[in-house]
Amino acid sequence: MMLRIEGVLDAVGVRTLRDIIDAGPWIDGNETSGHQSRLTKRNRQLKQGCDEAARAGRLVLDALGQTPDFIAAALPLKVFPPLFNRYRGGEEFGAHVDNSIRQLAGSEFRIRSDLSCTLFLEPPEAYEGGELIVEDLFGEHSVKLAAGDMVLYPASSLHRVTPVTHGARTACFFWLQSMVRDHGKREELYRLDRSIRTLSMERGAGDAVVMELTNLYHNLMRRWADA
């Protein structure tokens, strides 16, 4: 399941985040690349672990914690510290698959990468190219979102970023390990959660049908989730 999540950051949040990361040290984007990615990746990246990356990462995580659609769709167990990249002057990232296990350098923190996330930090009209292309059984999906919007998609997907031919594309990206490993089960839980929220608004949380569906949701979580 691919999901667009709008308004993770508002305009003020985007500006605050950009002020932090734009002042930080930007280096070759292959700092965090695996062997395959190094062959196809050309971009810049905010140095992992620097003060600016840590501050900006905390802002992103705080915003995600206040975004119900993200929590419902991802069911996050562990989130890799957010990273930040930039493409300009023809830079691109060729087709690749994200590593199945991500370990934070210099630490014992590691995750199974179930989901990949890209939070756009540049208005789409400010640059040409830079589309995130994600492939699945239905073909290719091109993603280029408003600043502050995020796309969530399976980390197992083949994906790429097309060359940026004008302007600059700045984004936050990270991976997460979900409490529910199976993509199909996670999608079913998300659809059920969304239906419960809709019915709760229409009928009230105490409605018998809402309560029954809520009970079903949590029983499925007990069966499928690792916490």
Fold of 183-224: DNA Excision Repair, Uvrb; Chain A (4.10.860)
Share above pLDDT 90 across residues of the chain, in percent, rounded to a whole number:
91
Is the pLDDT assigned to residue 38 strictly greater than 70?
no
CB 174, CB 82: distance < 8 Å: yes
Is the pLDDT assigned to residue 32 strictly greater than 90?
no
Find the helix or strand (DSSP H, E) in which 113 lies: none
> pLDDT for 166-203, tens place per residue?
999 999 999 999 999 999 999 999 999 999 999 999 99
What is the rounded distance in angstroms from the CA atom of residue 109 to the CA atom of residue 31? 18
Residues whose CB falls within 8 Å of the CB of residue 128, separated by 6 or more in sequence, listed in order: 164, 165, 166, 167
The pTM of this model reads: 0.94
What is the rounded distance in angstroms from the CA atom of residue 5 to the CA atom of residue 109? 27
CATH annotation of 3-178: 2.60.120.620
> pLDDT for 47-89, tens place per residue?
999 999 999 999 999 999 999 999 999 999 999 999 999 999 9
Question: Residue ranges of the domains in the chain?
Answer: 3-178, 183-224
Share above pLDDT 70 across residues of the chain, in percent, rounded to a whole number:
96
